[in-house]
Structure 1
Amino acid sequence: MAAFSNSWKGVCKLGCLPTLQHIRHGSKAVTRHWRDMNFMRQKLMAVTEYIPPKPAIPEECKPRTRFIEEENGYTRLLRRQVEETFRENKMIAVCQYNYIHGNDMVLMRHQLRKYNIHVKFFPNEIVRPFLLDSKFKNLLPLFVDRNLLMVSPEIRAQEMLRILKRMPPINLLGVYVDNAILSQQGFLNYAKLPSMVTAQGEVVGTLSLLTSQTSTILQRGPAHLASLLDQYVKQQSAEADTSKETGTPNKTEAL
């Protein structure tokens, strides 16, 4: 023991530590294993198991509760803008929107704004519920893919078609104008019609022509009769003058 202590002191002086050795001790054996519950206890647990009572009304007969999702402020704003757009504009054109360059889109909107035509973008999830309960429900089949609206409080058919010819990616699907829904071809025919002022002038000219012809026809009979009576008076005066010169009585005096 004294030799071990002396050697330990010598090692400590030299600055070296002895190596550590781990000694593994034997663990105890596991003697507790799972055993099945006693048969009598199983019967007791089965008999005393809680059985909840059945409801008086089956679940299938109860009214289903519907969870209504509240609309956020942005959805309400879009719905209000859609209602104002369809209520305040006389011309509403539905177009299919394909991708075009941003500068071309800005240029087209600027050209349309000169004629008081505005471009509107609304998602179909907002537009379709509004159209379903309105007088514009026949426009529902047009809102399938990405769409844009060209709206104007005035009827600017020729100007809008002239600008759309320069934009092939934007296809015209249908137009609501003058309380009627027109297809693309119907709107093209509508644009070829004259303006309201020109049409009114043509109608007034036609009506005045008919009245003038009617007055001419009504005045033709009396004028012809007057001319015949005038000619008769001239003939009678001429015969009277000739009878005076020759001294022979005329037909009226002989009678």
Structure 2
Amino acid sequence: MAATLCGRVLPKTGWLPLTESVRHGSKAVTRHRKPMHFLKQKLMAVTEYIPPKPIPPPGALSPPVRKTELESGLVILLKRELATVFRECKMIAVVQNNASSAEDMLLLKHRLYRHGITVKYFSNQVMRSFLPDSRYSNMQPLFIGPTVMFVSKEPKVKEMLKVLRSSPQMVLLGACIENTLLSREGILNYSRLPSMATVCGELVGVLALMTSQTVSQLRHHPAHLSALLQQYVEQLQSASTPEPAGRETAFAMEEAAA
């Protein structure tokens, strides 16, 4: 029995098992370097010693020569035109153009031209060379990126805002109205003000009312005094004249005379 079991369990001669166990050698223990903490890295970077650069002896290097670039004739011509625009126009609005198409821009120009507002294009290079030497130097931060100017000889803020509502790609940045620099909120507040004709009419009405009140007050005392004097004269006249006799007294006087 034992021989039978041993014969079944033990492998036969020349037979190879399907799986073989292979023993690997033990691996060597390797220690990885722990990374430095980021706060310590910052501290090491801040406290790192930087040696000073050696100073060259005097006369070894010549001072750098700055080259002055002359402005071209086109830039000078554009600056003259820009000076004319700022001198003749009372409203100069800076608007940012956010990729509006040529068709939308043409339609916007047509709508603005109905109200006497013109669209002007000037490059930022020309604006930056003109503004620092003028009294409009505070407008220089507005000219960043693609910008256009809406100019008119009269301040027509309400009409401009009404046209800009139909063009969301045009963003109003600021404006110079009657030599006063205004932000977007300032322009909205300026548009709510009444027109000059309305203000003049209200002023004329207030002045006329004040004049009429002054005249009435000046005439009140002489009129009152004349009325009192006239009443006093009438009282004196009524007191001096005798009272008229009755009908019976008059008849008796006639009989006595007869």
- Taking structure 1 as the reference length, what is the TM-score of the superposition? 0.67
1:196-244 CA-to-partner distances (Å, cap 9, x unmatched) read 2332222122112111111111111111111111112222222333x44
Is residue 145 of structure 2 the alignment partner of residue 145 of structure 1? yes
Alpha-carbon RMSD: 2.1
Shift of 1:140: 1.7
Aligned residues: 189
Cα deviation per residue 1:54-84 (whole Å; 9 max; x = unaligned)? xxx7155x55422122333333333333222
Inter-partner Cα distance in structure 1 for 2:83 and 2:244: 99
Return the alpha-carbon distance in structure 1 between the equivalents of residues 131 and 60 of structure 2.
37
1:187 Cα offset (Å)? 1.7
Partner of 1:205: 205
In 2: Cα distance, 1:157 partner to 1:120 partner: 17
**Farther-moved stretch of structure 1 (225-234 vs 70-79):** 70-79
Q: Distance in 1 between matches of 2:110 and 2:168?
A: 17
Could you state the TM-score of these two structures normalised by the residue count of structure 2? Answer: 0.67
Could you tell me which runs of 5 or more consecutive residues in structure 2 were left unpaired when the two chains were aligned: 1-57, 246-258
Cα distance between partner residues in 1 of 2:225 and 2:81: 73
Cα separation, 1, equivalents of 2:163 and 2:109: 10
Q: Identify the residue that residue 99 of structure 2 maps to in structure 1.
A: 99
SS in 2 for 1:80: helix
Cross-structure match for 2:88? 88
Residues 109-148 of structure 1 aligned to structure 2 (within 5 Å) = 109-148=109-148
CA distance in 2, matches of 1:203, 1:122: 41
How far apart are residue 184 of structure 1 and its match? Answer: 1.6
Q: CA deviation at 1:108?
A: 0.5
1:29-72 CA-to-partner distances (Å, cap 9, x unmatched) read xxxxxxxxxxxxxxxxxxxxxxxxxxxx7155x55422122333
Q: Deviations over 1:164-220 (max 9, x none)?
A: 111111111111111211122222222222222332222122112111111111111
Structure 2: how far apart are the matches of 1:134 and 1:173? 20
Q: Which stretch of structure 1 is more off in the superposition, 67-76 or 159-168?
A: 67-76
**1:233-248 to 2 correspondences below 5 Å:** 233-241=233-241, 243-245=242-244
What are the ranges of 5 or more consecutive residues in structure 1 without an aligned counterpart?
1-56, 247-255
Identity of aligned residues (%): 43
